[in-house]
């Protein structure tokens, strides 16, 4: 088995431009989903983009997939936020910030994109 990728390449749709925007970001996996931590929280442009259009594309190494993104609510999902921050800290030595979840689209079912 090959080691897990260090980065996830996330493509959002620009909320103003309507154009694809790609970032390279650290990630962790949990319960079949991918989690990202936004250092700048709601100020991060990629977070603002996915709030406007939650259909995203992601790439890990050579594997690409479509998914739906959401900001994890730190108030009502405290245990999940804590678990993801701990996973990120264990993998990268850092885990503070806003937690974002990427749920891969079911195979054969495309997530809406522009």
In whole numbers, what is the pLDDT of the chain averaged over residues?
Answer: 92
The answer to whether residues 22 and 11 touch, using CB atoms and an 8 Å cutoff, is yes
Owner of token pair 């790439």: 59
Q: pLDDT class for 80, splitting at 50, 70, 90?
A: very high
Domain of 26? 7-104
Within-domain flag for 89: yes
18 falls within a domain: yes
- Domain annotation covers residue 114: no
Residue 109, pLDDT > 60, answer no
Q: Domain count for the chain, please give it.
A: 1
CATH value at residue 87: 2.30.110.10
Q: What is the per-residue pLDDT across 27-76, written as a single tens digit (0 to 9) for each?
A: 999 999 999 999 999 999 999 999 999 999 999 999 999 999 999 999 99
- pLDDT tier for residue 4 given thresholds of 50, 70 and 90: confident
């Amino acid at each position: 088995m090959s080691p897990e990728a260090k980065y996830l390449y996330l493509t959002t749709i620009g909320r103003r431009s309507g154009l694809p925007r790609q970032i390279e970001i650290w990630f962790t996996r949990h319960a079949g989903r991918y989690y990202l931590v936004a250092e700048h929280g709601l100020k991060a442009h990629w977070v603002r983009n996915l709030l406007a259009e939650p259909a995203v594309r992601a790439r890990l190494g050579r594997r690409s997939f479509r998914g739906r993104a959401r900001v994890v609510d730190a108030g009502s999902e405290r245990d999940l936020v804590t678990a993801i921050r701990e996973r990120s800290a264990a993998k990268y030595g850092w885990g503070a910030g806003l937690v974002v979840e990427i749920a891969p689209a079911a195979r054969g079912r495309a997530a809406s994109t522009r």
